[in-house]
Structure 1
Amino acid sequence: MRKARAVLVSAVLALGVSLTIGATPAHAERLAGVFRDYSECQRIGNQGIAQGWWDSFHCEWEGRYRYYFLYA
């Protein structure tokens, strides 16, 4: 089960990054992570602001994947 979940998360990340790179202008948000819990998504988003990795972020629930996507 863990291997299947790891493969699924990797595939979702790769798909999200490829769609983000191919479909958005350079100044648009990018996919910065995929999380199971909203609180974890928020924690990493806030950490990114504190570290200077990005200026803003939002977590978006994707029901078909059952994960939260962090866009920064």
Structure 2
Amino acid sequence: MRKTRAVLVSAAVVLGATLTIGATPAHAETLAGVFREHSECERVGTRGTDQGWWDDYSCEWEGRYRYYFLYA
């Protein structure tokens, strides 16, 4: 009985860890481009939406790199 319980607990822990590690948040965004100008980032983001490449996008300024990052 003890060995069976130990095996079942171990299997449950491994399964839980596997599901936790493999899960990604629903709002995860992908880096779609890097631009010097905000207008260029917006232009490409809008084109991606029009073409159906992504549903939504955001252009975010990263001051330490001095570039705009397009996330979709």
State the TM bucket, normalised to the shorter chain.
Answer: 0.5 to 0.7
Alpha-carbon displacement from aligned partner over 1:8-51 (angstroms, at most 9, x marks no partner): xxxxxxxxxxxxxxxx9264110000000000000000000011
User: For 2:68, what is the secondary structure of its paired residue?
Assistant: strand
How many aligned positions are there?
Answer: 49
Query: Equivalents in 2 of 1:49, 1:36: separation in Å?
Result: 20
- In the superposition, the TM-score normalised over structure 2's length comes to 0.64
2:59 aligns to what SS in structure 1? strand
When the two structures are superposed, what TM-score results if normalisation uses the length of structure 1? 0.64
Partner residue in 2 for 1:41 = 41
- Which structure would you say has the larger Rg? 2
Q: Which runs of 4+ in 1 moved over 4 A?
A: none
Stretches of structure 2 that go unaligned for 5 or more consecutive residues are 1-22
